[in-house]
Structure 1
């Protein structure tokens, strides 16, 4: 079950976020300097004006079909082909846990569970047939969110048939007004909710939330209405009481449906009027009562400790009234807030990048909070021994911004980033995912925020962002960064409780933060390359007229594959690879080699530190970084078409002038040690590390690094290993996919790739034999208190890598999932199983079939037996014809869809180049799928699901 009630992050979540994937930031198209090759970018034509000369009501997105039925029910419909033949449906109920009385705490949660059991017009058998026939997932964890003020149901469906749309609308109408209150189902959902409460109570995050929420919510009704509910009231609930709450609060005047996707809006509108028009409200509907959270004068301090928390987290939360965007004046304030957040982000990024930074992680921003409130939130994660320095630095930076504001260059970069982002959104306006659009409409229904559409937003930014001056931004900062209605929250390890500052000391750190402060100084950006290298020449160029891929060879031996497209306008995906990777490192230097590309990426290039490099690229749509994997090394990234010159310059500099930064190395080692400590306290990480050990046969290169190994790493050895790998460009093949023409991009290739250094000889990877343990392995881990079992079954072995076998393994993935899912839907609805197949040719041909199981502990044996039984049946009979048809149809549709995406072609070119495959195989996929037979699937199941090589790893909670 998803709950909308947590507004601050635990240290564990913060550190995962800090080390996880990066967000793609698209920048404003700008012309390249005249001294450089001409950019292949295309500019966006200005549209109609959107002035703010007077505060006007914002227009409604012209693509939105919105209406209200006579019974008060609201509907939003938007047709888009961004994802062909798919639609997102939301049913929004403007009531949640805040409507519960003291005796009803948890009822909103229980009813949302109960709805998924079936309705008076959509029985359990109807629901089961519906999910099976259309492969639609309906589970509490993914399809419903219970919040304080709302309950939201979501379906993602194939939107290409009238039947599935009609059934989906009837199901949502059943949830809206005709939920069953069968006594047995009520008992089931009560048990599930109590199990959730019990499992959550053992989690560090829950304990930290329970300590902080009463303070953050100022002992308001919100602090007493956790959407998960209370054990006593859940246990006492019966069908009659739940139905009474449902009748009071599930009614058409509080409800809306949102449908966004590949649908006919007019037909859907007619269906909604027919299906939802009969919903009725009670004779005397209860009013929605506002329960404000009273502001607190001054600052409140809260300390919380936990035995499982390995770090100290300092948070500053300053609450303000919610800003609802309805007029052009509101929208202008919203633009200012976006600029404010952009400048905050860059300030805190610089703090993190500084030599000897006090932070393991830090961030700040202003966003929505809860119950008609927004909040400024700043947070810092530090080693327990560094809590004073980290907290003081956090306090000082907040005070520096409040006291001195920002500087003109910061604001200009933020404006460029804002224009860049909105320009990209405008370019991609026909490709915005249905779920993102649906979320905007959800906000409109719940809070009244306007939905204007991308074209209006784009024009508003163009017309008005230039009117925002530094004085206005600094006034906004001073207004938001107040010491009123402020909470300072310290979360720390239980073992460090005695070492934490007193409340008086903590307050003094903030009240004294303004002493001896100086204004921020911005290091002005410089051009990435002052002098261009001596270019090489194109010595060979051929074009595959079928694939429209151009093969280029440069005079220094560098090979390039080019695939111009019109799929995602303004986007170019860049890749480059050579064979070798960390397989060429000695066992002694392996850890250093494994960290080499990471530290270079954190160090900058040439004479620029990483902070300076980020300053140069802030208004550029560029993200390029080196990597070193097990058997390859190279570059991966993307750029806007306008900024391709800077992207390929950066690639050149990573080759020729990598920077060696001791401070970056220290940060990397500190962050890595911190994440390793966190992994050691987390049962999921321990489970994953155990699987990794077995899949590598306990080879250290395939296992998670431990701290003693990390202590052997050296910056000098890492830097030298990096330089050795990138010393001979003739070993490299580069691929470029996206918005360019071959003619326009060739000068870039000659200038920045043709000038790269080369030397005689080639190198390739070493096969170090890092393979899974052979034979039968059964390992169980007992850790944590979550009342769920997690298990992985892994079949593996040597492999004849060819197209037929690859398709056979893909078929096993789909068909086995269909078989198991059908059995489990008929037996236990609280279990989740997935099937994944993997195969590779390099460094040696191997395959894996992995089956993931997550279920209640009591059901583990039953679910595992179902999986093994279906595997045995698969071997005996192969796929059923309808299962085979489903696989072939979905694969053909998926391939057709993917072939309209740059990422697909980029991956295809790289994989075929590395494996030495026929590049035309992608076009032959549909034909090869048609050759698949039931007999082949039977043979493949016997071959690849061999119990003689089966690893089983299971995670169970600790015994009480």
Structure 2
């Protein structure tokens, strides 16, 4: 009997083990994308290649050494060495390399750049074609072995790096900086800020810089990534020629830094906010290692994505339905080196902290304890099915930069670049296994896990009192929640027009661009391009000239919040929250906008719900809701945001600049906060009537993979039936004050830096053409290049001086700003230097600059043809403002039409004798 019982136990144990193994198969590793080929030279140098038949080429040089490899005597040296790679190497003198690639159509900063982190230094080169690949590889080889550490160049670069520290490491740290400092406290990262400190850079040792370079730039620590249109045999031969002879050198043994298993600091953070920040409350959950190595890891990360969506939607719905003001609300991943966090946070008006936090805590508890409803689950199903349906379209439309950045990220975090088919299979598996129970189980595990509170405290609040309440806040969140009522309203349809309009005219344009146009009976013109690359997606922009420029002055400030007020109130039979749910369920994105000189709606849809999309457009134009309670909530949000900004040093400075430039009647004039109180329902409705019931050249642009004949009945029923009255066109003058030169010089800055601004305005311009738009873009590039060369490189006064145009489409003026951030003792030098840049531009624009900036512009515009949302917006913009759209079809041809004389004449108009000048200086606040 005993033997029989023993055998039975043995059999049961074996069965238990067998069943356990059957239910818990070993993790399945991510499969690497076979389109990437990887090779390692004998010296350990590794390169990764992926070919494409498209023109752009993207290259990255990854050195697996960063600030963690520095000694106490080398703080900031890895980053400084990265800077020196642009200041001269064996084959390229000074800034020659930047000029070379700019002439080839690449832009410094956007296309030619680098970054240094704790674990790696990465050099970036994005080229419009393969013509300069040889030079790119030669430069990368120089970086790896032959950076010229010239003492004169090093001394000049100190000012540039200190300028970067001044810009990126403020002394009065905002909440995001304080949180990061808090979470890395006690880790290997705390004392190894990649940028270093002012003291370590000012006292930099050339000997130690060379020592770091020689020790840590080794072939076995370096990888090269290239994606694009190139000949593999030629590239491999060049790589071998440039890198095979590079020898690993003996180096002092040093303990390698940890890459995983870092113990971050997750104690609560309740901290005072700086000027310009709004009160906030958030929860942070540690989600472990950042790298995704298995299919199980990937599904877990996807479930976290679903949790973000659920939490953000539930909170958004709750706050809308409660008519509580919310300035910001988001739930997102936050990545640390080799670690991923889950953050849910909100910002709100100071006086609403108690109410907002209570609703936030209650909503989190409801999701943890009771999960989601059937309606919410259907929203998730719809979104993830859409992701699967669009997988090939999204994958195929990833450009060279996207591919090479993705590969670089996987190499730096030690994660495979996944095969598309394995990704698809795992996504199908997720969709097939999704259920309310699975989502709720994940929400329960996530929201029941330990969390960190992050609380931003306004200066009006008592930080000691709030810190003492953190335990109460946790208790409120941890309490078992009351079961919520159904949160999603029943499905509602958009309005159906009572009568259809008519199509007056339609035609296919013979431009080889698959263009079809319609003219509708209400005056709307429709422009459609068939594009097979968009897959199931349809992108639309319905827009008109107008915006703030056609409103009565008493409506200016209302126009800043009208869109938000209607979004929270709803349209047709929808409330704000039910509209949001409906749009998500049907994969629709609606983005109404009111700009200074145009207004309208951007819309993204899919073919399945195209009819619903057109009905949504019709309803926006014909039946908006303005709920007084929601309007009041939006006014509170707006008041808090405006007050926070205007009371900050930069806000006060910009308000002073604004008031010396504009008359109070100008649509650009900074209004007073008290004017927000006068906003009411009637004013929102007046804005809708003025902008959405009157036609000032309304144009509808559609990009999709449809037959034009399929669109005609939808246009007739939903768009031609929108009731619009034609109104006279008008010129968009700006009410500038009459001045020749003004100066604003204030001491308000809480940072130990000075901000300098030169503003040059010509209020007597003629309407711009597409050619003018192109020239202005080229001039902006010329100015930025000259500022970089003179203010940054030659004088070392600022890290990133810049120039940009602030004028709006169709406004009869030009308005340019040149800005710099500098050491207070150097602000007068910056003023003189920027004046010198303007004088130089007026006296001498050369053909080489015209050619290089024109090439950069054309190359930057070429990708628009494969980016449907951008393409729809650009064509809508050009059509409503009467710019010639031929420039968009062939930007290179448009650039060829621009002569040196054209640019010189435009420069004289913008910056010559007719320009009005404002100079502004924001200095540090005097010590009290």
After superposition, where does 1:590-601 map in structure 2 within 5 Å?
Answer: 590-601=556-567
Q: Describe the shift of the 1:477–1:780 C-alpha distance in structure 2 as closer, same or farther (beyond 3 A).
A: same
Q: 1:274: how far off?
A: 2.8
**Pairing 1:314–2:281 present:** yes
The aligned counterpart of 1:159 is 129
Q: 1:611: how far off?
A: 1.2
- C-alpha contact (below 8 Å) 2:759/2:815 kept by paired residues: no
Q: Describe the shift of the 1:934–1:255 C-alpha distance in structure 2 as closer, same or farther (beyond 3 A).
A: closer
Q: Describe the shift of the 1:636–1:769 C-alpha distance in structure 2 as closer, same or farther (beyond 3 A).
A: same
What is the alpha-carbon distance in structure 1 between the residues aligned to residue 262 and residue 774 of structure 2? 61
- C-alpha contact (below 8 Å) 2:67/2:117 kept by paired residues: yes
Q: 1:356: how far off?
A: 3.4
Q: Describe the shift of the 1:481–1:267 C-alpha distance in structure 2 as closer, same or farther (beyond 3 A).
A: farther
String of CA shifts for 1:375-417, please: whole Å, max 9, x gaps.
2222222333333333343333333333333344433422321
Q: 1:322: how far off?
A: 0.9
String of CA shifts for 1:284-312, please: whole Å, max 9, x gaps.
55342427666599x83332224536532
- C-alpha contact (below 8 Å) 1:790/1:956 kept by paired residues: yes
Within the candidate set 535, 540, 543, 2:500 is matched to: 535
Q: 1:749: how far off?
A: 1.0
The aligned counterpart of 1:90 is 60
What is the alpha-carbon distance in structure 2 between the residues aligned to residue 921 and residue 751 of structure 1? 33
The aligned counterpart of 1:286 is 254
- C-alpha contact (below 8 Å) 1:88/1:438 kept by paired residues: yes
- C-alpha contact (below 8 Å) 2:160/2:792 kept by paired residues: no
The aligned counterpart of 2:471 is 507
- C-alpha contact (below 8 Å) 2:537/2:704 kept by paired residues: yes
Q: Describe the shift of the 1:353–1:102 C-alpha distance in structure 2 as closer, same or farther (beyond 3 A).
A: farther
Within the candidate set 421, 431, 434, 1:465 is matched to: 431
**Pairing 1:763–2:718 present:** no
Within the candidate set 238, 245, 261, 1:271 is matched to: 238
**Pairing 1:257–2:216 present:** no
**Pairing 1:489–2:454 present:** yes
- C-alpha contact (below 8 Å) 1:581/1:632 kept by paired residues: yes
The aligned counterpart of 2:11 is none
**Pairing 1:953–2:923 present:** no
**Pairing 1:794–2:747 present:** no
What is the alpha-carbon distance in structure 2 between the residues aligned to residue 593 and residue 885 of structure 1? 42
SS of equivalent residue, structure 1 residue 452? coil
**Pairing 1:176–2:140 present:** no
String of CA shifts for 1:808-862, please: whole Å, max 9, x gaps.
656655566666666667734656455556887846x444455455566666656
What is the alpha-carbon distance in structure 1 between the residues aligned to residue 385 and residue 193 of structure 2? 40
After superposition, where does 1:706-785 map in structure 2 within 5 Å?
Answer: 706-723=672-689, 725-727=691-693, 732-757=698-723, 762-764=726-728, 767=731, 769-782=733-746, 783-784=748-749, 785=751
Q: 1:658: how far off?
A: 0.7
The aligned counterpart of 1:443 is 409
- C-alpha contact (below 8 Å) 1:200/1:786 kept by paired residues: no
Q: Describe the shift of the 1:80–1:954 C-alpha distance in structure 2 as closer, same or farther (beyond 3 A).
A: farther
Which range moved further: 427-436 or 718-727? 718-727
Q: 1:650: how far off?
A: 0.7
Q: Describe the shift of the 1:459–1:187 C-alpha distance in structure 2 as closer, same or farther (beyond 3 A).
A: same
The aligned counterpart of 2:589 is 623
The aligned counterpart of 1:474 is 440
SS of equivalent residue, structure 1 residue 473? helix
Superposed CA RMSD? 3.9
String of CA shifts for 1:538-574, please: whole Å, max 9, x gaps.
3433343347544434455554333333453444332
The aligned counterpart of 2:21 is none
SS of equivalent residue, structure 2 residue 626? coil
Q: Describe the shift of the 1:594–1:195 C-alpha distance in structure 2 as closer, same or farther (beyond 3 A).
A: closer
Q: 1:652: how far off?
A: 1.0
What is the alpha-carbon distance in structure 2 between the residues aligned to residue 825 and residue 129 of structure 1? 15
The aligned counterpart of 2:69 is 99
Which range moved further: 537-546 or 886-895? 886-895
Q: TM-score, normalised by structure 2?
A: 0.85
The aligned counterpart of 1:650 is 616
Within the candidate set 619, 629, 639, 2:605 is matched to: 639
- C-alpha contact (below 8 Å) 1:836/1:850 kept by paired residues: yes
Q: Describe the shift of the 1:445–1:807 C-alpha distance in structure 2 as closer, same or farther (beyond 3 A).
A: closer
Q: 1:427: how far off?
A: 0.7
After superposition, where does 1:289-300 map in structure 2 within 5 Å?
Answer: 289-290=257-258, 300=267
After superposition, where does 1:538-937 map in structure 2 within 5 Å?
Answer: 538-546=503-511, 549-556=515-522, 558-566=524-532, 568-578=534-544, 581-690=547-656, 692-693=658-659, 696-723=662-689, 725-727=691-693, 732-757=698-723, 762-764=726-728, 767=731, 769-782=733-746, 783-784=748-749, 785=751, 787=753, 789-801=755-767, 812-813=779-780, 827-828=794-795, 830=798, 832=800, 834=802, 836=804, 842=810, 845-848=812-815, 850-852=817-819, 868-869=835-836, 872=839, 879-886=845-852, 898=864, 902=868, 906=872, 910-911=876-877, 913-915=879-881, 930=896, 932-937=898-903
SS of equivalent residue, structure 2 residue 534? coil
Q: 1:670: how far off?
A: 1.7
The gaps in structure 2 that reach 5 residues or longer are: 1-23
The aligned counterpart of 1:111 is 81
What is the alpha-carbon distance in structure 2 between the residues aligned to residue 106 and residue 826 of structure 1? 19
- C-alpha contact (below 8 Å) 1:197/1:228 kept by paired residues: yes
The aligned counterpart of 2:379 is 413
What is the alpha-carbon distance in structure 1 between the residues aligned to residue 105 and residue 524 of structure 2? 47
String of CA shifts for 1:250-283, please: whole Å, max 9, x gaps.
3233322222334344433332233223333343
Q: 1:745: how far off?
A: 0.5
What is the alpha-carbon distance in structure 2 between the residues aligned to residue 887 and residue 126 of structure 1? 16
Q: Describe the shift of the 1:318–1:150 C-alpha distance in structure 2 as closer, same or farther (beyond 3 A).
A: same
Q: Describe the shift of the 1:691–1:397 C-alpha distance in structure 2 as closer, same or farther (beyond 3 A).
A: same
- C-alpha contact (below 8 Å) 1:204/1:306 kept by paired residues: no
Aligned length: 896
Q: Describe the shift of the 1:264–1:678 C-alpha distance in structure 2 as closer, same or farther (beyond 3 A).
A: farther
Which range moved further: 895-904 or 550-559? 895-904
SS of equivalent residue, structure 1 residue 314? strand
Which range moved further: 746-755 or 525-534? 525-534
What is the alpha-carbon distance in structure 2 between the residues aligned to residue 802 and residue 434 of structure 1? 34
- C-alpha contact (below 8 Å) 2:273/2:279 kept by paired residues: no
- C-alpha contact (below 8 Å) 2:761/2:813 kept by paired residues: no
**Pairing 1:384–2:354 present:** no
Q: 1:645: how far off?
A: 1.8
The aligned counterpart of 2:38 is 66
What is the alpha-carbon distance in structure 2 between the residues aligned to residue 890 and residue 237 of structure 1? 36
**Pairing 1:363–2:330 present:** yes
Within the candidate set 178, 184, 196, 1:229 is matched to: 196
What is the alpha-carbon distance in structure 2 between the residues aligned to residue 188 and residue 535 of structure 1? 69
SS of equivalent residue, structure 1 residue 701? coil
Q: 1:748: how far off?
A: 0.9
Within the candidate set 467, 477, 488, 1:523 is matched to: 488
What is the alpha-carbon distance in structure 2 between the residues aligned to residue 249 and residue 132 of structure 1? 30
The gaps in structure 1 that reach 5 residues or longer are: 1-51
- C-alpha contact (below 8 Å) 2:184/2:264 kept by paired residues: no
- C-alpha contact (below 8 Å) 1:145/1:153 kept by paired residues: yes
SS of equivalent residue, structure 1 residue 143? strand
**Pairing 1:396–2:362 present:** yes
- C-alpha contact (below 8 Å) 1:888/1:929 kept by paired residues: yes
Q: 1:466: how far off?
A: 1.1
- C-alpha contact (below 8 Å) 2:219/2:247 kept by paired residues: yes
What is the alpha-carbon distance in structure 1 between the residues aligned to residue 834 and residue 455 of structure 2? 46
What is the alpha-carbon distance in structure 1 between the residues aligned to residue 407 and residue 587 of structure 2? 29
SS of equivalent residue, structure 1 residue 737? strand
The aligned counterpart of 1:9 is none
- C-alpha contact (below 8 Å) 1:801/1:840 kept by paired residues: no
